[in-house]
Amino acid sequence: MSFARRNRWLSLIAALLMIVAACGGSDDSDDNAEDSTPSETSAGSNEASGGSGPNVEGIDIQVGDCAVDALDDAGDVVELTMWHALAAQSKTALEQQAERYNASQDKVHLTVIEQGSYDQLQDKIRASLGSDELPALAIAEDTTTQFFIDTRSALPVQACVDAAQYDTSDLLPPWIDHYTVNDVLMALPFASSTPVLYYNKNAFRAAGLDPEKPPTSFAELREADAAIVESGAAKYGLSLKLDSWLVEHLVRRADELLVNHDNGRSARADELLVDTPLVADIWTWLQDEVDNGGLIAVEDKSGQFDHFVAVANGNAAMVIETSAAIATVRALTAGNSVDPGTSGLDAEDVDLSKLDIAVAPMPSFTELTGSSQAGGGGAFIMANASPEEQAAAWDFLEFAMTPEEQATWHVESSYMPNNILAVDEPAVKELWAADPAFAAAYETFENVDPEKARGPLIGPYQAVRDAIEDGMDAVVLAGQSAADGQDISTEKGNKVLADWNERAG
Amino acid sequence: MSSVTFDRVRKVYGDVVAVDDLSLTVDDGEFMVLLGPSGCGKSTALRMVAGLEEPTSGDIALGNQVVNRVPPKDRDIAMVFQSYALYPHMTVRANIEFPLKARKVERSVRVERVEAAAETLGLSELLDRKPGQLSGGQRQRVAAARAIVRRPQAFLMDEPLSNLDAKLRVQTRIQLVQLHQQLGTTFLYVTHDQVEAMTMADRIAVLHDGRLQQVDRPSDVYDRPANAFVARFIGSPPMNVVPATITIDGSALTLNIAGLALDLSTKFRPEDLKAGDVLLGIRPEDLIPAEDGLQATVLGVESLGHEAHIVAQCGGHQLTARIANPRGSLPHASDVMRFAVDADDVHLFDATSEQRIADSTSS
Amino acid sequence: MSLSQTRMSLNDGAGTYFRSRRARVSETLWAYAFLAPSLVIFAVFVFYPLIRTAHQTFYQPGLYPDAPQRYIGWEQWTDVLGDSDFHATILRTLLLSLMTVLPALVLGLLLAWLVNQPLRGMSLFRIVFSTPVATSVAVASLVFLILLNPQGGILKVDWLTRPTPALMSVALTNVWQNLGITFIIILAGLQSVPDDLIEAAKIDGAGPWRRLRSVIIPTISPTLMFAFVILTIVSFQTFGQIDILTQGGPQDATRVIVYDIFTNRGSDPGAAAVKSIVLFGGLVLLTFIQFAALNRRVHYGD
């Protein structure tokens, strides 16, 4: 063989070796071997689970062990990391709580790390699954319950509850119910909130509206919009971020389902149910309101705060947003500087004199036949953390859930107190007397049926939300018909659900 | 039809004076060669006529019009560059056509002129080739064709033959002269090669350090160089210019050098000469080996077949003698030779100014 | 005959010289040794990911770590390639590329040509126009965000909230970002155009526009071709500008392929893998087409 040819063979072999090396170590299997999920369920007894709902067909949850005593045997201080997506005033409140916890004991040192928005946090968690990048504790969005179940990446809080014989009956029942699947409590409510209506009383007065009677239905919203715009009290009446939870909460308040199989609670959801007259009406309402100038609607994307800013600078009079923003709003109007974090809001941007912000429950579309829905962020303990870290996480949670801590937490962050005994604490009573806005969220849930307040159980929740928003944006921002928008959402949503269910096996 | 006039033209780059007070008129239809060594300013002068450089002071005129401010494309001149500057991506035809296209000449006229130019320069077979596919000589002809296709008032040529090999150079010289005769247009031609100048020019303008040394017909430049520089530059091999002394004894004028005492009274008048140092110019062919005369020691002998050059050392200077049709044996290095010189062949230059000293034959 | 005794003779015109086979092998081994670091880096960071990604397109990943992957053959491919959303994404990417490459080339040529004129102060402009090379995508995009932000931007415009202007804004940022390197490349090309070619054109009567069109551009055509190919590839990989300015919005108007892959990477890694391979193949094909279509008109010099 000539030298040139031999060289070429050498190169080829070298290249092939590299490829073979690359393929080695892959975890593929060529047959359709489906891993049979072990069907052992919780070893411990279900003590204080508030859930009385049906078991979800086809889902088996391994509860695992939570070694709550591991802390006693730990030699060094256990470093505990907690990821979260809180911003502005809430973030500050969390950091202060962490400091209080660290000061109160010397076995655990807690560090809280903000990871952007809930979506960004979830992306990060997903990317870190199976690696040791994952922290022991994460405050993930309430919608991620199914995700953690299917990826088997969370240690159900039930394990620690059982091991520590903890009584959860004082914790917010609707939330406990929401986080319980097949009688297993997956997470503890931590950053609990619900959408509320923020409105500027000054604008109401200027428009001739009664500032003590904010709209309770979307029909009344429309009237208020018209009055505000006509009177020139503001350029727009309502300001909204076109977020999927708007649809989700309105659907829940109308006692309708978002996905099939009882919102995913009786079996895995495989159909997105936005093809309903209610959703068509909602989207058409939004579209019309944009057209007649009463509503300014902005797209949902990471770091989107334009809808808040619109109210802050007086362009709009109302906005529907999380109840957890109250603390930040109050801090801004009081002239305090707020850690902008990802909020992008700064006190200097706001003309304080024009604002007299009050809070009311979120309007229903027509009337409240269903319920407000439990939401916010839940505390999930990660499965692949070390026993010491898991014990540390539980220790912190126990600390955080005491009535005193919950009182401070609520007062500083405006998140709902997770422990109902906290409302009897003097700090809370004082605050609510002085500023009823803080009480609004809690009061909407006081007499609610926990089963109705549960949110849907969906594996690929983020993707389903994207599908809903695609349809909503097409209608509200791009002027398509509601039917077209619903088709878009249904098609995408169903595909996403089908893919997930396939992958879940 | 037009002449080219330099009127006290000066070009300065920073501290360097490239062209110093040049005044020269190229007559209409004349073939004028600007001759000089590298750096003498000849190319700069040419580029100023082309409009590629602007004079620092002084005027350039084409015909009656002062063109200092006129851009190249509006002067009716064409230029052939040393590197030919053909457009490599265009065919020969497109290259030749380009100047016409640029001036928006009508298509039919273009086609006709291009073919005529190609015919004149023997390029008709090569019209569809690209410059990369041509030989050096062919490329040079394309450059010339591109220049003549516009029938401008004057042709400017910047050492167009220097990239050709010796044999081709001779051929092309003849062709260029023929072209000039055919077209009758003014040619302004720049070169450092005095053979080209001597064979092609109607008149030669010799430049040195930016200054005009002499402008005359070739025979005059050859026979009566205006100064020692011109003398040393022209001729192949060039004139020998060496120091000598003049003694005047009444009416006896004697040139003394290296054992030669030559009576100059046949050629020079007493009033034109001073006693003392002087520069002697003598052509190689005017040094005749003899029994008696100027003494020199042979350094080397170059035999070219039809003639031989003897290079000899005389005093502190070298002399070259040319022997035509050498018969018999040639001298060897370190031989001592003597040369006879005829007074008629003597050229004298002032020892300080190096200017030609007038003799009784000059008018 | 043993290896060391085999002789090869090489005639290089000045004579012949002999090199033993052993010397030749040794030289080849040294060559590979020097190439090895580069090859290793390429293998690890380019070849291996490429092959793994291709491999991944045929499998559906499980949900939990250590879950087995399911072999699904071409299913993912047909899903993605038949998805009308993906078609729209590709069209958007092509459109963005067009809006980036052509203006960047034209502007780069114009600026380089201007700076190449022998006027005073040009070296200052050379520096100024080259500066985009020194800025990172993130920084440049942030600056544009400050300019274009619908709420409180310096320019009071709402380009970023409307679909078509949003894509154009991204293209604008892209053009600016790539102008530096385009300018430098073309300027280098311009400076290698022989002076006498331009002078000949001037004397031939060509004005500035004709000189540019008939002489300069053909002469720098290899440079322009290079810039064109590079710009196209880079424009297909636009990501940073979109992440900072529009996050794929408004209403997916700026959701180009790399951004799409990025947002899909966690939730649908199989589809993301398919799209990555499609991007790779598409770029190879596009470059091929560019060469085939344009190489005729590129003059590579004598």
**Count of residues making up chain A:** 505
C-alpha to C-alpha distance for A199 and A212, rounded to whole angstroms: 10
Which residues are bridge partners to A267 per DSSP?
A: A57
Calculate mean pLDDT across residues B45-56. 94
User: CA-nearest residue of chain C to B78?
Assistant: C203
Q: What CATH class has A70-193+374-453?
A: alpha beta
Question: Which residue, B200, B231, B262, sits at the end of a domain?
Answer: B231
Cβ atoms of B290 and B281 within 8 Å: the answer is no
Q: Evaluate if residue C1 carries a pLDDT over 60.
A: no
pLDDT on residue C10: 46
Task: Name the minimum distance, in Å, from the CA of C5 to any CA of chain A.
Answer: 15
Interface residues on C facing B, Cβ-Cβ cutoff 8 A? 194, 196-197, 199-207, 210, 214-215, 218-219, 221, 299, 301-302
**Token pair of A120, please?**
């960004």
Question: Which residue, B199, B231, B263, sits at the end of a domain?
Answer: B231
Residues B205 and B147 in one domain: yes
CB contact under 8 A, C60 and A503: yes
Q: Evaluate if residue A375 carries a pLDDT over 50.
A: yes
**Token pair of A126, please?**
């997903």
Task: Name the minimum distance, in Å, from the CA of A275 to any CA of chain C.
Answer: 20
Residues B245 and B329 in one domain: yes
Residues B216 and B323 in one domain: no
Task: Name the minimum distance, in Å, from the CA of A383 to any CA of chain C.
Answer: 11
Buried b (16+ CB within 10 A) or exposed e, B239-269: bbbbebebeeeeeebbbebbebebebeebbe
* Helical axes C122-130 vs C84-115, angle rounded to 10°: 160
pLDDT in tens, B160-210: 998 888 888 998 899 999 999 998 999 999 999 999 999 999 999 999 999
CB contact under 8 A, C203 and B131: no
Interface of C with A in 237-276 (CB under 8 A): 246-252, 265-268
Q: Evaluate if residue A42 carries a pLDDT over 50.
A: no
pLDDT on residue A48: 38
Q: Does B41 touch chain C (CB under 8 A)?
A: no
C-alpha to C-alpha distance for A157 and A164, rounded to whole angstroms: 11
Residues B68 and B206 in one domain: yes
Plot region of A345 (φ>0 → left; ψ -120 to 50 → alpha; else → beta): beta
C-alpha to C-alpha distance for C271 and C82, rounded to whole angstroms: 12
Residue B361 lies in a domain: no
Residue B189 lies in a domain: yes
C-alpha to C-alpha distance for A121 and A378, rounded to whole angstroms: 13
Cβ atoms of C215 and C141 within 8 Å: the answer is no
Q: Evaluate if residue A12 carries a pLDDT over 80.
A: no
C-alpha to C-alpha distance for B192 and B177, rounded to whole angstroms: 18
Cβ atoms of C198 and B77 within 8 Å: the answer is no
pLDDT in tens, A84-139: 999 888 999 999 999 999 999 999 999 999 998 898 899 899 888 878 889 999 99
Q: Evaluate if residue A11 carries a pLDDT over 60.
A: no
Calculate mean pLDDT across residues B240-265. 86
Task: Name the minimum distance, in Å, from the CA of C118 to any CA of chain B.
Answer: 13
C-alpha to C-alpha distance for C265 and C251, rounded to whole angstroms: 20
Reduced DSSP (H G I as helix, E B as strand, rest coil) percent helix, strand, coil of chain B, to 5: 30, 35, 35
What's the pLDDT band for A345 if we cut at 50, 70, 90?
low
Residue B170's CATH number: 3.40.50.300
Residues B169 and B212 in one domain: yes
Task: Name the minimum distance, in Å, from the CA of A342 to any CA of chain C.
Answer: 13
Lowest mean pLDDT, pick from A56-60, A93-97, B317-321, C111-115: A56-60
Q: C249 or A402: which carries more pLDDT confidence?
A: A402
Candidates B87, B151, B156: best to mutate against C (most CBs of C within 10 A) is B87
Instruction: Residue B334: give the domain boundaries.
Output: 237-350
What's the pLDDT band for B257 if we cut at 50, 70, 90?
confident
Q: Does B85 touch chain C (CB under 8 A)?
A: yes
Lowest mean pLDDT, pick from A17-31, C58-72, C78-92: A17-31
- CA count, 13 A, side-chain hemisphere, A357: 30
The DSSP code for B74 is G
Please count the structural domains in chain B: 2
Candidates C70, C148, C162: best to mutate against A (most CBs of A within 10 A) is C70
Residues B178 and B66 in one domain: yes
Which residues are bridge partners to B34 per DSSP?
A: B190, B205
Q: Evaluate if residue A20 carries a pLDDT over 50.
A: no
Report the C-alpha dihedral over residues C56, C62, C63, C65, rounded to 10 degrees: -90
pTM confidence score: 0.77
CB contact under 8 A, C210 and B146: no
C-alpha to C-alpha distance for C297 and B98, rounded to whole angstroms: 19
Please state whether beta strands B31-35 and B203-208 pair in parallel, antiparallel, or not at all (unpaired). parallel
What's the 3-state SS for A248-288?
A: HHHHHHCCCCCEHHHHHCCECCCCECCCCHHHHHHHHHHHH
CB pairs under 8 A between B and C: 66
Backbone angles phi, psi at A306, to 5 degrees: -60, -30
Residue C67 with chain A: CB contacts under 8 Å: 35, 505
Q: Nearest CB to A460: which of C247, C248, C267? A: C267
CB contact under 8 A, B132 and C302: yes
pLDDT on residue C274: 94
Q: Evaluate if residue A330 carries a pLDDT over 60.
A: yes
Q: Which candidate, B4, B8, B41, B42, places its Cα nearest to that of B23?
A: B8
Cβ atoms of B41 and B18 within 8 Å: the answer is yes
CB contact under 8 A, C201 and B52: no
Cβ atoms of A37 and A505 within 8 Å: the answer is yes
C-alpha to C-alpha distance for B287 and B280, rounded to whole angstroms: 12
Cβ atoms of A284 and A203 within 8 Å: the answer is no
Residue C221 with chain B: CB contacts under 8 Å: 89
Q: B261: helix, coil or strand?
A: strand
Question: Which residue, B207, B231, B255, sits at the end of a domain?
Answer: B231
Residues B33 and B159 in one domain: yes
C-alpha to C-alpha distance for A372 and C182, rounded to whole angstroms: 57
pLDDT in tens, A147-158: 999 998 999 999
C-alpha to C-alpha distance for C117 and A304, rounded to whole angstroms: 48
Give the chains touching C; criterion: ≥3 Cβ pairs < 8 Å.
Answer: A, B
CB contact under 8 A, A23 and C51: yes
Task: Name the minimum distance, in Å, from the CA of C213 to any CA of chain B.
Answer: 11
C-alpha to C-alpha distance for C105 and C95, rounded to whole angstroms: 16
Q: Evaluate if residue A66 carries a pLDDT over 80.
A: yes
User: CA-nearest residue of chain A to C85?
Assistant: A492
Residues B214 and B77 in one domain: yes
Q: Is B336 exposed, middle or buried (0-12, 13-18, 19+ CB in 10 A)?
A: exposed
Q: Evaluate if residue B223 carries a pLDDT over 80.
A: yes
Residues B21 and B101 in one domain: yes
Distances, alpha carbon B266 to alpha carbons B251, B284, B346, in Å: 11, 21, 11
Plot region of B71 (φ>0 → left; ψ -120 to 50 → alpha; else → beta): beta
Overall fold of domain C79-297: MetI-like fold (1.10.3720)
Cβ atoms of A185 and A161 within 8 Å: the answer is yes
Q: Evaluate if residue C87 carries a pLDDT over 50.
A: yes
Residues B23 and B128 in one domain: yes
Which residue matches tokens 């939330």?
A: A175
Overall fold of domain A195-371+460-499: D-Maltodextrin-Binding Protein; domain 2 (3.40.190)
Which residues are bridge partners to B244 per DSSP?
A: B278
pLDDT on residue A291: 93
Q: A184: helix, coil or strand?
A: strand
pLDDT in tens, A210-267: 999 999 999 999 999 999 999 998 899 999 999 999 999 999 999 999 999 999 999 9
**Token pair of A93, please?**
């409140």
Q: A379: helix, coil or strand?
A: strand
Buried b (16+ CB within 10 A) or exposed e, B10-43: bbeeeeebbbbebebebeebbbbbbbbeeebbbb
Domain ranges, ordered by start, for chain C: 79-297
User: CA-nearest residue of chain C to B155?
Assistant: C203
pLDDT on residue A37: 36
pLDDT in tens, C258-268: 999 998 887 78
